[in-house]
Structure formats: C-alpha cells, structure tokens
Amino acid sequence: MVSVLKQIFCYLSVLCVAASIVLGIIFGIVWFFGIVGVAALFAGLMFWMKRLETPKAPPKTDFMNSDEENKKILDDAKKDE
C-alpha cells in the first residue's frame, strides 16, 4: 500500500509542476507559486512514504565505538539469529 501511495504522490507532483508552467503563463505568477507549493507538498508526502517503506539498517560494529558498545551490538546480533 505504501508503494502505491508513493507512486501516486510522485505522479501528482510531476503533474502539478507541469501544470504550474502552463497556468503560471496564463494566470500569473501567484498561480505558478501556488501550484509549485502543492507540488512540493506532494513531493514531501512521497518522500515520507519512502521513509516508511525503507527498513532501518541494523547497527554494525565500528572501530570508533567503545568495546562495550561493540560487544552489545554483537550480542544483540547473536540473539536475533
């Protein structure tokens, strides 16, 4: 469902940008910026849906972490297996 909404918001954003050029020429600069604002809203919703769809990466050990942090990460990884 999230993937479908992401596609819909993407198409709506592109259509709004295309319409803003034509309507901006016909009706003026206020209409242009109004429709571009709506396109930005749809783009924001698209990126929000993408964030909901993308799983968060599990933490990995790193040389910058302390030994305790790396041990905790390794212990959590072993529990998940």
Reported confidence tier of residue 38, pLDDT bands at 50, 70, 90: very high
pTM of the predicted protein model:
0.67
Give the pLDDT band of residue 16 (cuts 50, 70, 90): very high
Q: Is the pLDDT of residue 35 over 80?
A: yes
CA 26, CA 14: separation in Å to the nearest integer? 19
Which of 50, 54, 51, 56 lies closest to 4 in space, CA to CA?
50
Nearest-angstrom CA–CA distance, 8 and 5:
5
